[in-house]
């Protein structure tokens, strides 16, 4: 069982307290200027978007099988058993493959820094370890962001949609997208309106499988191809040797 | 002649000074100051050109080694040494370029200890590291020959079969894996370029570019160092290039057909314009040219066909790395001048080192006596002989 977050956009009042709590938890500056920034960045891991007075939160989705972790050459990102996808800065070489690979474009970068780090929501792993919920869920005054076991939250999301079908689009975003995520969204509007990639576009296949299909063939390919190349080398050089030996024999015969 | 040398010298100096300034900006003010990369465009011109194109342009090394030592195409023997030199320098410069692009280059060695075997990037990194070592050993006999050290040459000759097989194996792996890097971005990369066949395309294009670069380089070296062009060499390469281009084209068309894009690619759109440019340069011009026997027998026309091929595949890789992401991101990526400047500096260093190596080492085979150049030639006139890695 792993922890997850359920964000219910119909309950959100756009107070942005989650943004502030997140900043505090991660020692990031937070003031009116930052609050007004409508995008995530290296100093803003989560953002509450407002479109025609409909709200939507954006944050790392904490995929069940994260693309970022699978592509990182040094394994600086990994999915913990508890749920969060965390980052070990001391391993990172700064290739930014995680940023390009993430279907939700969540990892952000400290572009101005001379020793830049990847920045993203890491789902408060220290708080989770201490048995607490995430900072954003704890502070949320309406319960729009709810922390819990993933299975339980899925059940609750389904129940809410069922009980109030007029208020919700009939889907849980993150249930099956890219193989499922630990952040689940339900809303009365399309999440795509707020920059989330459309479900058919990202599919239900876990992203690591796209490269895994090729990578898993390499252990077979290496010995096979070595054998082929070595074989070709041997044949073409054997031909030379035979030709040389025959020539020598001929010459020897003449003498 | 003297004026021309001075001209190239000036160009070289300007490029180096600008490049050093840009390096200062990169390492003292960060990636944000030196490049136009952003959270929306985490990979920019350097990944597209220095990495994807750089490695492709250095493919001549494994192509020629394969042709001569694996398949015994003895005619191509004269171009093996320059091709290996180009590849060796190309990979060294690629690694230097990577140090600019990585955010924390001082931890590049982390690959060796924190291995993530599921990562394509890890595989590419390890292959490039090992292959550069292989190239170093393939290049080393030149130095020993020059120093007249007989015994170490014998040692290397003893392991030559291993070096050859390992070199080609590693090249197959990482040339194709550069394409695999993009397999994980099906929702971001434009469908013209996103295909499960990317690794095959990257390998096939590396072979075509390896052949074209060898033609290009032989012609340029001949011009710069006043050597005789070996026509049989060029004719063989030209013929092989035509075959390689047909294979590439058929794979490409088959892929478009398979993914139902054959109609789509002819509809005008931003991406389509870049695709057309790429297809005309890679296939249209060179295939049309090389189909004529007259072209295949003319060093000058062969040269143009190979330049077109190289430019075409460079367009292809920049399309994959930059153009193909613009629709997803929602805006264009235009590199900052400092980005170009650092890439230019790398290329200039390549020309310079190639010139230096050719001057002091027996690169252009022992059959003709080593030509001694005036010192003023170093790094300047040879600049013509070596393109873009």
pLDDT at A253: 54
Domains along the sequence of chain B with CATH: 42-336 (1.20.1630.10)
| DSSP letter assigned to residue A44 | B
Cβ-defined contact of B72 to A236 (cutoff 8 Å): yes
pLDDT at B5: 62
Locate B356 and state its tokens.
């230096």
For domain A3-207, give the CATH number: 3.30.70.20
pLDDT at B365: 63
Q: Distance between CA atoms of A122 and A61, rounded to whole angstroms? A: 10
Q: Distance between CA atoms of B117 and B115, rounded to whole angstroms? A: 6
Cβ-defined contact of B40 to A105 (cutoff 8 Å): yes
Helix (H, G, I), strand (E, B) or coil at A41: strand
Q: Which helix (H) or strand (E) segment is A145 a member of?
A: strand A145-149
Which are the contacts of B231, defined by CB distance < 8 A and separation ≥ 6?
B297, B299
Question: What pTM does this model have?
Answer: 0.90
Task: For strands A85-87 and A3-8, give the pairing.
Answer: unpaired
Task: For strands A3-8 and A145-149, give the pairing.
Answer: antiparallel
Q: Distance between CA atoms of A177 and A201, rounded to whole angstroms? A: 10
Query: Is A227 an interface residue toward B (CB < 8 Å)?
Result: no
Phi, psi angle pair for A82, to nearest 5°: -70, -15
B122 alpha carbon, distance to own chain's centre: 20
Q: Distance between CA atoms of B221 and B225, rounded to whole angstroms? A: 6
Question: What are the extents of the domains in chain A?
Answer: 3-207, 217-254
State the residue for tokens 């970068």.
Answer: A109
pLDDT at B43: 96
The 10 Å Cβ neighbour count of residue B77 is 17
pLDDT digits (tens, 9 = 90+) for B168-198: 999 999 999 999 999 999 999 999 999 999 9
Query: Does residue A197 contact residue A61 with C-beta atoms inside 8 Å?
Result: no
Short-list B55, B322, B92, CA closest to B178: B55
Q: Distance between CA atoms of B256 and B192, rounded to whole angstroms? A: 8
CB contact residues (below 8 A), chain B span 152-191, against chain A? 161, 164-165, 168-169, 172-173, 177, 180-181, 183-188
The 10 Å Cβ neighbour count of residue B282 is 27
- Report in angstroms the alpha-carbon separations of B56 from B50, B198, B276, B317, B379: 10, 14, 21, 9, 23
pLDDT at B380: 38
Rounded to a whole number of angstroms, the distance from the CA of A206 to the nearest CA of chain B is: 10
Which are the contacts of B339, defined by CB distance < 8 A and separation ≥ 6?
B22, B34, B35, B36, B44, B45, B46
Query: Does residue B334 contact residue B194 with C-beta atoms inside 8 Å?
Result: no
Task: For strands A145-149 and A118-119, give the pairing.
Answer: unpaired
Provide the sign of the torsion angle of the four alpha carbons B27, B32, B33, B37, taken in this order. Answer: positive
Query: Does residue B201 contact residue B66 with C-beta atoms inside 8 Å?
Result: no
Cβ-defined contact of A101 to B42 (cutoff 8 Å): no
Query: Does residue B67 contact residue A231 with C-beta atoms inside 8 Å?
Result: no
Task: For strands A47-51 and A3-8, give the pairing.
Answer: unpaired
pLDDT at B384: 40
Q: Distance between CA atoms of B63 and A187, rounded to whole angstroms? A: 56
Reading chain B (389 residues) residue by residue, the pLDDT tens digits are 445 567 888 999 999 999 999 999 999 999 999 999 999 999 999 999 999 999 999 999 999 999 999 988 888 988 899 999 999 999 999 999 999 999 999 999 999 999 999 999 999 999 999 999 999 999 999 999 889 888 888 999 899 999 999 999 999 999 999 999 999 999 999 999 999 999 999 999 999 999 999 999 888 888 877 777 778 889 999 999 999 999 999 999 999 999 999 999 999 999 999 999 999 999 999 999 999 999 999 989 999 999 999 999 999 999 999 999 999 999 999 999 999 999 999 999 999 999 899 888 888 864 443 344 433 333 333 444 443 33
Q: Distance between CA atoms of B156 and B160, rounded to whole angstroms? A: 6
Which residues in chain B are closer than 8 Å to A106, comparing Cβ atoms?
none
Phi, psi angle pair for A4, to nearest 5°: -155, 170
Which are the contacts of B260, defined by CB distance < 8 A and separation ≥ 6?
none
Question: Of B32, B118, B188, which is closest to A112 when you measure between CB atoms?
Answer: B32
Query: Does residue B98 contact residue B51 with C-beta atoms inside 8 Å?
Result: yes
State the residue for tokens 């502070």.
Answer: A139
ipTM: 0.91
| DSSP letter assigned to residue A140 | -
CB contact residues (below 8 A), chain B span 26-85, against chain A? 27-33, 37-40, 42-43, 69-72
- Report in angstroms the alpha-carbon separations of B192 from B49, B198, B259, B384: 19, 11, 10, 34
Question: How many residue pairs from chains A and B have C-beta atoms closer than 8 A?
Answer: 159
CB contact residues (below 8 A), chain A span 120-159, against chain B? none
Instruction: Extract the residue ranges of chain A whose pLDDT is less than 50.
Output: 255
Locate B279 and state its tokens.
């297809």
pLDDT digits (tens, 9 = 90+) for A86-118: 999 999 999 999 999 999 999 999 999 999 999
Is A143 buried (19+), middle (13-18) or exposed (0-12) by CB count in 10 A?
Answer: exposed
Which residues in chain A are closer than 8 Å to B33, comparing Cβ atoms?
112
């Amino acid at each position: 069982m792993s922890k997850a977050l359920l964000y219910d956009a119909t309950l959100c009042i756009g107070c942005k307290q989650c943004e502030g709590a997140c900043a505090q938890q991660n020692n990031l500056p937070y003031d009116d200027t930052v609050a007004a920034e409508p995008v995530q960045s290296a100093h803003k891991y989560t953002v509450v978007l407002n479109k025609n007075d409909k709200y939507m939160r954006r944050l790392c989705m904490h995929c069940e099988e994260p693309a970022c972790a699978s592509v990182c050459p040094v394994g600086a990102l990994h999915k913990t058993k508890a749920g969060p996808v965390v980052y070990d800065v001391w391993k990172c070489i700064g290739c930014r493959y995680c940023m390009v690979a993430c279907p939700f474009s969540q990892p952000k970068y400290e572009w101005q820094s001379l020793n830049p780090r990847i920045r993203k929501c890491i789902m408060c792993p220290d708080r989770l370890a201490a048995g607490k919920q995430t900072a954003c869920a704890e502070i949320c005054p309406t319960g729009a962001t709810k922390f819990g076991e993933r299975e339980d939250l899925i059940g609750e999301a389904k129940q809410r949609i069922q009980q109030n079908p007029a208020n919700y689009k009939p889907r849980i975003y993150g249930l099956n997208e890219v193989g499922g995520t630990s952040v689940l969204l339900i809303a009365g509007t399309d999440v795509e309106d707020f920059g989330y990639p459309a479900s058919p576009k990202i599919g239900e296949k876990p992203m690591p499988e796209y490269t895994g299909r090729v990578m898993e063939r390499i252990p077979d390919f290496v010995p096979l191809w070595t054998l082929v190349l070595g074989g070709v080398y041997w044949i073409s050089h054997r031909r030379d040797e035979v030709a040389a030996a025959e020539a020598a024999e001929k010459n020897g015969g003449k003498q | 002649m003297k004026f021309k040398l001075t001209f190239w010298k000036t160009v070289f100096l300007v490029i180096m000074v600008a490049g050093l300034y840009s390096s200062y900006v990169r390492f003292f003010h960060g990636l944000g100051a030196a490049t136009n990369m952003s959270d929306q465009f985490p990979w920019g011109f350097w990944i597209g050109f220095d990495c994807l194109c750089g490695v492709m342009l250095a493919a001549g090394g494994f192509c020629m080694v394969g042709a001569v030592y694996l398949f015994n195409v003895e005619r191509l023997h004269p171009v093996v040494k320059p091709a290996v030199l180009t590849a060796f320098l190309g990979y060294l410069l690629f690694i230097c370029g990577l140090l600019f692009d990585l955010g924390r280059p001082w931890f590049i060695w982390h690959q060796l200890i924190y291995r993530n075997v599921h990562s394509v990037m890890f595989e590419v990194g390890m292959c490039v590291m090992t292959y550069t070592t292989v190239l170093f050993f393939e290049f080393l006999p030149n130095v020993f020959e020059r120093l007249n050290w007989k015994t170490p040459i014998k040692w290397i000759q003893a392991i030559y079969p291993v070096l050859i097989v390992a070199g080609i194996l590693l090249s197959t792996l990482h040339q194709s894996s550069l394409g695999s890097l993009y397999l994980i971005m099906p929702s971001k990369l434009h469908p013209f370029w996103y295909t499960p066949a990317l690794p095959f395309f990257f390998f096939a294009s590396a072979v075509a570019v390896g052949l074209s670069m060898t033609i290009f380089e032989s012609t340029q070296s001949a011009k710069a160092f006043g050597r005789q062009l070996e026509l049989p060499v060029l004719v063989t390469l030209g013929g092989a290039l035509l075959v390689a281009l047909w294979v590439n084209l058929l794979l490409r068309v088959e892929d478009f057909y398979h993914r139902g894009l054959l109609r789509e690619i002819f509809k005008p759109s931003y991406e389509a314009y870049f695709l057309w440019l790429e297809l005309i340069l890679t296939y249209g011009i060179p295939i049309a040219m090389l189909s004529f026997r007259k072209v295949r027998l003319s060093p000058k026309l062969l040269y143009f066909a190979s330049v077109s091929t190289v430019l075409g595949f460079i367009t292809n890789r920049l399309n994959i790395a930059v153009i193909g992401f613009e629709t997803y991101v929602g805006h264009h990526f235009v590199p900052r001048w400092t980005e170009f400047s650092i890439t230019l500096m790398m290329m200039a260093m390549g020309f310079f080192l190639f010139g230096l190596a050719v001057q002091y080492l027996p690169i252009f085979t022992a059959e003709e006596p080593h030509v001694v150049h005036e010192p003023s030639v170093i790094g300047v006139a040879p600049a013509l002989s070596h393109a873009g890695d």
